[in-house]
């Protein structure tokens, strides 16, 4: 028994074809939107590729770009099919290709749904990418004279100013690395020598942060050096007073920014997916309804359209049997090839 059977007369078939034609061209516009969103996200990720450790973060934008292009191609073709469906002579050339085309549309809808899920689920991967990338970027902050790294100081400073953040997890991350270049250190100074000798790695570590960590909204002039030394500043207690630095870490700020972007894109992708599923269902009804019209003379008569020719269990059973037959056919072909090679070997 057919699933979700609907009876169509000529007027309903024409309206269905016209409606699907319009929906397909709207879906082409939706594909352009997906392509644009993926391109925008890719550009945003490339802007800060220096503080990202892996290229895995580009999976989502690349997928959105691919799905957008495929959506434009598939829906343009479907629009042409729906337009030709109004003319029996033109529709005849599409008839043998509709079943394979609908199967491809189903696969496309599955892929689009998975891409929408990835927009919501890749937060963990992005977090680890940012954590490692920011850690490496901060380590190279001082290498302003090293080719290939001389831009890192500007990148980190602009990042901290734009996103109002400081360090990887917080401003104290700067205490653990040497962020001042040796070029600007006076190695004849006793203070510099003592600081370098105070740690096993021989690094010049200070309880200070770069200028880009300063919060301009603070009424007090920025304190960026000797942050833990209360006696170095008048009326200052680093444990109780609110510091005039950005407290939020850059990893959290960037993760929040990119997560909000991908969540919004995931919602848009889900809406596009629902639209595509609706079009695929409509194409299936149009295909089966036109199959019921055996000749142009019967074009004005009624025909039945359905979603599945059999019930869901029967369709699933038939699908499994076809897979088994396909597997057995491959085994027979392989056995025949081996038998043909055996006499030659003898």
pLDDT of residue 333: 54
CB atoms within 10 A of CB 27: 23
Closest C-alpha among 38, 120, 118, 119 to residue 71: 38
Cα 261 from Cα 255, distance rounded (Å): 10
Token match 């977090």: residue?
127
Closest C-alpha among 286, 285, 322 to residue 2: 285
pLDDT of residue 202: 82
From first CA to last CA, the distance across the chain in angstroms is 56
CB atoms within 10 A of CB 125: 15
pLDDT of residue 93: 78
* Statement: the pTM of the whole predicted model exceeds 0.95: no
Cα 157 from Cα 147, distance rounded (Å): 18
Q: HEC string of 253-311? A: HHHHHHHHHHHHHHHHHHHHHHHHHHHHHHHHHHHHHHHCCCCHHHCCCCEEECCECCC
306: left (phi > 0), else alpha (psi -120 to 50), else beta? beta
Cα 318 from Cα 160, distance rounded (Å): 60
Contact 150, 181 (CB under 8 A): no
pLDDT of residue 346: 38
Cα–chain center distance at 114: 10
pLDDT of residue 3: 60
pLDDT of residue 192: 84
**Per-residue pLDDT tens listing for the chain (346 residues):** 556 666 766 788 788 888 888 999 999 999 999 999 999 999 998 888 888 866 566 889 999 999 999 999 999 988 888 887 777 777 777 777 788 888 899 999 999 999 999 999 888 788 888 888 898 889 999 888 888 778 899 999 999 999 999 999 999 999 999 998 888 888 888 888 888 888 767 888 888 999 999 988 888 888 888 888 888 888 877 776 567 889 899 999 999 999 999 999 999 999 999 999 999 988 888 878 777 665 555 556 666 666 666 655 665 566 566 666 666 655 555 555 555 554 554 3
Cα 297 from Cα 193, distance rounded (Å): 100
CB atoms within 10 A of CB 58: 17
Contact 45, 38 (CB under 8 A): no
Given the DSSP bridges, would you call strands 303-305 and 6-8 parallel, antiparallel or unpaired?
antiparallel
Supply the DSSP string of 135-204, one letter for each residue. HHHHHTTT-TTSTTTTTHHHHHHHHHHHHT--SSSSGGGGGGS--S-GGG--TTSHHHHHHHHTSTT---
pLDDT of residue 103: 87
Structure tokens given for 108: 């496309």
Contact residues for 296 (Cβ-Cβ < 8 A; gap 6+): 88, 89
């Amino acid at each position: 028994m057919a699933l979700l059977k609907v009876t169509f007369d000529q007027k309903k078939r024409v309206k269905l074809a016209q409606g699907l034609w319009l929906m397909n061209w709207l879906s082409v516009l939706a594909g352009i939107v997906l392509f644009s969103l993926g391109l925008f996200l890719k550009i945003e990720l490339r802007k800060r590729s220096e503080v990202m450790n892996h290229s895995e973060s580009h999976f989502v934008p690349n997928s959105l770009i691919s799905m957008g292009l495929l959506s434009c191609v598939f829906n343009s073709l479907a629009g042409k099919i729906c337009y030709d469906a109004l003319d029996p002579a033109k529709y005849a050339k599409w008839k043998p290709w509709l079943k394979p085309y609908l199967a491809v549309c189903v696969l496309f809808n599955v892929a689009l749904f998975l891409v929408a899920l990835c927009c919501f689920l890749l937060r963990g991967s992005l977090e680890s990418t940012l954590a490692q990338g920011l850690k490496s970027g901060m380590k190279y902050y001082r290498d302003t004279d090293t080719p290939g790294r001389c831009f890192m100081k500007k990148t980190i400073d602009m990042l901290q100013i734009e996103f109002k953040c400081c360090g990887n997890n917080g401003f104290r991350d700067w205490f653990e690395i040497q962020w001042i270049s040796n070029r600007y250190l006076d190695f004849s100074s006793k203070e510099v020598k003592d600081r370098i000798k105070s740690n096993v790695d021989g690094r010049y570590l200070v309880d200070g942060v770069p200028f880009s960590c300063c919060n301009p909204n603070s009424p007090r002039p920025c304190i960026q050096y000797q942050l833990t030394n209360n006696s170095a500043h008048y009326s200052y207690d680093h444990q109780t007073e609110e510091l005039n630095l950005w407290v939020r870490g850059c990893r959290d700020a960037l993760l929040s920014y990119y997560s909000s972007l991908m969540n919004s894109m995931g919602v848009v992708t889900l809406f596009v997916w629902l639209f595509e599923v609706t079009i695929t269902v409509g194409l299936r009804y149009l295909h089966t309804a036109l199959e019921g019209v055996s000749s142009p003379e019967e074009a004005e008569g009624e025909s039945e359209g359905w979603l599945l020719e059999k019930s869901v269990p029967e369709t699933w059973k038939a699908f499994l049997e076809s897979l088994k037959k396909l597997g057995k056919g491959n085994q027979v072909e392989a056995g025949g090839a081996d038998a043909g090679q055996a006499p030659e070997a003898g």
